[in-house]
Structure 1
């Protein structure tokens, strides 16, 4: 059968199966899945060569020049210059004894040497395994030992940690330092005493430069490109085995969509800001598209607090980020508008509402873009063509805000480590909020029933169920854990995502729930904490929220991080005194009034009574990657948060049971 939706979302589907929706494919490519570009570019190295040719003598990799500790302009290496460096470096790695399809660890924040190492590994068919501090010592041990890693390419500041762990990492023999000028003498000496060979990145290049002839085997599509260990919120990390073909499929899909005017078109004139962790597939896929098209990539300084300064200097044309940052921008801008009040607030609201009423036609307005939104747009450099959000769902309000205030197309993508981000993507000029679009050209979609949560493919008016994805971007397996692989990919090749989706009347996917993060309260109500947190976090007083429920308890409690500036302003208006943010968080009266405020907001946004928190603990200690409360892709680690705030949670529940909680 063929299921027809209104254009442009017509999708081709297979026969229906009980308990499942029909299989969906992208309307532009409904007859076949896209797994390569033109029959030749089937590996990541082939994609790089294409981009190198397209970029030519144009800028490729850029970093900021530092003078007396102050960041100045961006300094660039061209595509031609970088290719010479990559090929010399790749040959140098081979000289050191690294063998085909052996693991190379990369342990650093984003920098040009990260990207050059990545491309060198693709050239030689080495396997990239990214490492990062928030894995923790036990997970680092597990990963390094599981893949029998002998080489780590790292930034100088990571050498100390590698030496510290060396006793538990017997396979590590060689550490290559990207920024060798920053190596501390004591760290290098300690590494050598621990039996590690410490080399400089440029030294490896020089080693390879002396090789004029080499015998090497080109990478094959089914060779492993990377083993990407999930930063999951619980348990031992699992290594998703991603082949070259898996990586190429979503990048090919993005290119196809751009060529068909279904997505923004990227070319060699674009400039991309690289700051999301390259250890994870969202940034790897996003950067891969720009590498393929010969675009320029500018790197942040390594400090997210300086990111907006880097953006102002780089003035990128493309900006990929995650909801956490968009939420912060949203909160800050609206709080600033509210603080100004008067004519400024009236003008902003008038402009905002007029643009919102016409979002189905355009993100631009001939007057308001210049008069009202110019200063907001300048926060991202002033020449953004499009914005892409990934990693987690973005609230519809924030999506509308980004389109209106930045006068740019805003796309939302959906995918997972296990399919190299090749899930769904919103379509150009469709400014509907709350959806994640239609399947990538490389992916098939269907929903399967989840009876215990009352989600079924037969639901009216729209089918609902667990999202399943199949296609050439799906990982080969979890490394050395076949039981986990079998739980995630079924015998027909479908990836079971754990996300609950809905297919609307136009054939678009909407994420509505998460199968794994659901729990019951004592009365039997199912709770989806991420949904509730998403509502609360739209309020200007809430920077971050952790909603907790116990199956033995009848209600929810919350650990909230207030927005510091908004909290102080609100407290002053409430007559709660001139105190520091930390002092306000400790005040019982502040907590009582704060809870009333966010509860009223939750009610306005359709939270049911049992979905509202009944007690709150306020802290100015942010949930962060650095304190292990967030994954590197900024998802809340619920089990960690529960352990950290166990005492406060117990205190709130005791108060509720004794009738002393805030109402």
Structure 2
């Protein structure tokens, strides 16, 4: 959608003439020197094809036509092996970073409300070797507290370094990790803990006091609560039989020679790695059983879509790790030697609600190159930037709008605009740190207007993806060279996608010009099923004649001629 140009028509004509002359003079040198021809060919190429000519045949990525990818590194068929591989390869490189809290104070707002404001310092980093050791000690300590291999353990915690350390500890010691959204209500939390029969739970001081404490009597099997916060505190008023520990104390217990000398019971690829409870927007949340091999296949597919992914990259982690998108994204990063700096929606940018005026938000300090975002956050960024544009004087606003519309025109043709990026959009880009090269969108549909806005103002591609908890978040991701909007890309190399006729809605694989139908995803990334829910397992999952597992999404999609998927009905 073009922005409205608000200036004297004569001056506008002059500016348009200048832009036309600039484009004419610079086009040919830029076209040949930048390799634009190859980029355009890549953007327009066929990205996925049906396996055969039969209507309803599965589509596969052109990079995995003959065999779906299932392993990231040879010999690394479980998540503990992937992390060990990363530890050896990236030993002394930064792995997980957390900002130092300098001060916290209450600030009275003009409307009478009181907000907590923080001043945060630099990021303090754990290396890959230090992160691995922290996870090994924690896993050993949990075992010393009576946690058994293949017995479920829960985490109910905000996104932070301790979350991923806990996950890696559980992967090492073969403790299936039950994840619960911190936004779930009390009955849903109690349901998840009781259904999975956990005796140990990892949480934070805030969530223990605000959410968990009220339901402890409803979870009779619970014996141990481990608090991730690093300050030891005396805990009182808990039901008899429940012991409350500090994470650092459990790690110290695990580091003792008599405990570390006991080798962990290592998992096999088919063992459950995670039981991930859905958000429960409709009814009681379901626990999705995800094996080590499922997650490895999923992150293998995702990693293939991110160009030049490696140890030079920094990822900002702030979305809920109990959501499959964030967990998969962080596992992708750890497996490739990236740094992960932790944040929260309240401290993300300089203008975020918890950041004290004049101090730096997390993106300004971290300067991430990779970022995942749900459409809600991108819509919020879009509104904030456009509000600032409206506050500009008439000339500034018109120059911004001219640059915006010019760049939108160029992007739609597959061209870049280095001068606009440097002189007009640099300040907007700095809202996310100024170095973001890939934005991954998932969790909900992203509007074409917001996607194009992020392309233009933040000068980076937006990889829109489609996946579900039941497919480890892996299904499709649009290629970074694909400048189209409103589509979710071609199938990842770890899976194949087919469309099933939905007669009631009038969607058929034989529809013209594009085949339509219910989206079915098959491959090694498809989860083992729902925990203790055979009725839904029979409805939503099936195994075909070749032994391949499939998930029926219930969403309607259509395949375009280049093999990219568009979601028609969610």
Mapping of residues 250-399 of structure 1, within 5 Å: 250-255=298-303, 257=304, 263-300=306-343, 303=346, 305-306=353-354, 309-360=361-412, 364-399=416-451
Q: Secondary structure at the match of 2:372?
A: strand
Q: Is the counterpart of residue 467 in structure 1 residue 519 in structure 2?
A: yes
Match of 1:498 in 2: 554
- Residues 290 and 363 (structure 1 numbering): CA distance in 2 closer, same or farther, change over 3 Å? farther
For 2:484 and 2:232, the matched residues in 1 are separated by 48
User: SS of the counterpart of 2:456?
Assistant: helix
**8 Å Cα contact 1:163-1:190 kept in structure 2:** no
Aligned-pair CA distance for 1:71: 0.9
CA distance in 2, matches of 1:220, 1:501: 35
Matching residue of 1:484: 536
Aligned to 1:537: none
Measured at CA, do residues 115 and 363 of structure 1 come closer, stay the same or move farther in structure 2, by a change above 3 Å?
farther
- For residues 248 and 345 of structure 2, the distance between their equivalents in structure 1, rounded to whole angstroms, comes to 21
Tell me the secondary structure at the aligned position of residue 291 of structure 1.
Answer: helix
Task: Kindly indicate whether the alpha-carbon contact (under 8 Å) linking 1:241 and 1:479 is maintained by their aligned counterparts in 2.
Answer: yes
The aligned residue for residue 511 of structure 1 is 567
The separation in 2 between residues aligned to 1:38 and 1:62, in whole angstroms, is: 25
Q: Relative to 1, partners in 2 of residues 1:22 and 1:510: Cα closer, same or farther, differing over 3 Å?
A: same
- Residue matched to 1:544: none
Residues 441-492 of structure 1: per-residue CA shift (max 9 Å, x gap): 1111111111222212111111111111000010111001100111111342
User: 1:53 Cα deviation (Å)?
Assistant: 2.4
Work out whether residues 110 and 302 of structure 1, in 8 Å CA contact, stay in contact via their aligned partners in 2: no
Residue from 164, 167, 172 that aligns with 2:222: 172
What is the distance in 1 between the residues matched to 2:280 and 2:344?
A: 26
> Does the CA-based 8 Å contact 2:317-2:341 persist in structure 1?
yes
Deviation of the 1:302 alpha carbon = 7.0
Asked if 1 retains the 8 angstrom alpha-carbon contact of 2:158 and 2:182, the reply is no
8 Å CA contact retained: 1:390, 1:413: yes
Contact 1:104 1:128 in 2 (8 A): yes
Partner of 2:115: none
CA distance in structure 2 between the partners assigned to 1:440 and 1:334 by the alignment:
34
After TM superposition, give the deviation of residue 392 of structure 1 in Å: 0.9
CA distance in 2, matches of 1:40, 1:87: 20
Cα distance, 1:366 vs. partner?
2.2
Q: Deviations over 1:364-403 (max 9, x none)?
A: 4221112110111000000111111010111111111111
Deviation at 1:309, TM superposition (A): 1.2
Q: Classify 1:178/1:336 alpha carbon distance in 2 versus 1 (closer, same or farther; 3 Å).
A: same
Structure 2 counterpart of 1:123? 172
Deviation at 1:133, TM superposition (A): 3.7
Partner in structure 2 of residue 456 of structure 1: 508
What residue number does 2:94 align with?
59
Can you list the C-alpha shifts for 1:103-124, whole angstroms capped at 9, x where unaligned? 1111110111111100000001
Partner of 1:75, secondary structure, is strand
- Contact kept? 1:109, 1:302, Cα under 8 Å: no
Partners of 1:53 and 1:294 within 8 A in 2: no
* 1:189 alignment counterpart: 236
Provide the C-alpha distance between the structure 2 equivalents of 1:341 and 1:26, rounded to a whole number of angstroms.
49
**Residue in 2 that maps onto 1:83:** 132
1:37 corresponds in structure 2 to 72
Contact 1:275 1:302 in 2 (8 A): yes
Deviates further, 301-310 or 486-495: 301-310
SS at match of 1:68: strand
**How far is 1:159 from its partner?**
2.4
Give the conservation status (yes or no) of the 8 Å contact 1:272–1:296.
yes
2:198 match: 149
**Aligned counterpart for 1:214 among listed residues 258, 262, 266:** 262
When residues 216 and 332 of structure 1 are mapped into structure 2, their CA distance, relative to the original with a 3 A threshold, is closer
Deviation at 1:361, TM superposition (A): 5.8
Quick one: distance in 2 between partners of 1:421 and 1:502?
Answer: 19
For 1:233, the equivalent position in structure 2 comes to 281
When normalised by structure 2's length, the TM-score is 0.84
Q: Note if contact 2:186-2:212 (Cα within 8 Å) is conserved in structure 1.
A: no
Task: Give the 5 Å matches for 1:601-612.
Answer: none
Q: Residues 302 and 477 of structure 2 are in contact (CA less than 8 Å); yes or no, is this contact kept in structure 1?
A: no
CA distance in structure 2 between the aligned counterparts of 1:421 and 1:346, rounded to whole angstroms: 41
1:598 matched residue in structure 2: none
Secondary structure, counterpart of 1:242 in structure 2: strand
User: How many Å apart are 1:334 and its aligned residue?
Assistant: 2.0
Q: Note the residue ranges of structure 1 that are not aligned, 5 or more in a row.
A: 515-663
Q: Which has the higher contact order (CA 8 A, sep 6+)?
A: 2
Kept in 1, the 8 Å contact 2:181–2:323? The answer is no
Q: 1:380 to 1:176 in 2, by over 3 A?
A: same
Runs of 4+ in 1 over 3 A off after TM superposition: 301-308, 360-364
The equivalent of 2:47 in structure 1 is 9
Q: How many residues align?
A: 498
TM-score of the superposition, structure 1-length normalised? Answer: 0.73
SS of 2:92's equivalent in the other structure is coil
Question: 1:111 pairs with 156, 160, 164, which one?
Answer: 160
CA distance in 2, matches of 1:428, 1:162: 42
